Amino acid sequence: MASISDVAKLAGVSVTTVSKVINNYPDVSPKTRRKVLNIINEMKFQPNVVARGLVKGRSWSVGIFLTSDFSNPFVSVVMSGLKKTLENSGYDLIYLSQGNKDPQYNFVKHCLSRNVDGVVVFGFTGDEKYVRELICSELPTVFIDIDLYGKRAGYITSDNVNGIFQAVEHLYNIGHQKIAYLTPKLGNYVTKIRYEGYVEALNQLSLDFFQDYISVGTNLAFSLQNGYELMAPLLSLPNPPTAVLCASDLLAIGAMRAMEERGLVVPRDMAVVGFDDSDLCDLTRPKLTTVRQDIKLIGERALGMLLEMINDSNYSPKHVIMPTELIVRESCGSNGLSEVITPVAQ
By CB under 8 A, is residue 96 in contact with a copy of itself? yes
Residues 6+ apart with CB under 8 A from 176: 242, 243, 271, 340
Residue 111 vs 258, nearer CB to DNA = 111
Q: Which partner, a copy of itself, DNA, none, binds residue 334 by CB below 5 to 8 Å per kind?
A: none
Give 15-28 as a DSSP string: HHHHHHHHTT-S-S
How far is the C-alpha of 305 from the C-alpha of 285, rounded, in Å? 39
Q: Is 265 near a copy of itself (CB under 8 A)?
A: no
The 8-class DSSP code of residue 42 comes to H
Shortest distance, position 95 Cβ to a copy of itself, whole Å: 4
Q: Which residues pair with 111 in a beta bridge?
A: none
232: left (phi over 0), alpha (psi -120 to 50) or beta: alpha
* One residue of 10, 17, 108, 141 binding DNA per CB under 7 A: 17
Q: How far is the CB of 242 from a copy of itself (least distance, A)?
A: 23
The residue within the footprint of DNA, chosen from 9, 32, 73, 94 (CB under 7 A), is 32
Judge contact between 317 and 152, C-beta under 8 A.
yes
Separation CA 254–CA 226 (nearest Å): 7
Span interacting with a copy of itself, options 143-151, 267-275, 281-289, 332-340, rule CB under 8 A:
281-289
Calculated CA dihedral for residues 63, 2, 46, 35, nearest 10 degrees: 160
Q: Select the residue interacting with DNA from 9, 22, 83, 207 (CB under 7 A).
A: 22
From candidates 5, 80, 204, 335, binder to a copy of itself by CB under 8 A: 80
8 A C-beta contact, residue 156 and residue 295: no
Q: Which of 10, 20, 243, 276 binds DNA (CB under 7 A)?
A: 20
Residue number with CB closer to a copy of itself (171 or 220):
220
Give CA–CA dist 346/342, Å, rounded.
13
Helices and strands, number each (H, E), in the chain = 13, 12
225 binds, among DNA, a copy of itself, none (CB under 5 to 8 A by kind): none
Compute the least distance from the CB of residue 101 to a copy of itself, in Å.
Answer: 5
In the complex with DNA, which residue's Cβ is closer, 53 or 336? 53
Question: Dihedral sign, CA of 78, 79, 84, 90?
Answer: positive
* Binding stretches for DNA (CB under 7 A): 3-5, 12-17, 19-20, 22-23, 26-29, 31-32, 45-48, 51-52, 54-57
* Binding stretches for a copy of itself (CB under 8 A): 1, 44, 46-51, 53-54, 59, 61, 69-71, 73, 75-77, 79-80, 82-83, 86-102, 106, 109-110, 112-115, 224, 253, 279-280, 283-285, 296
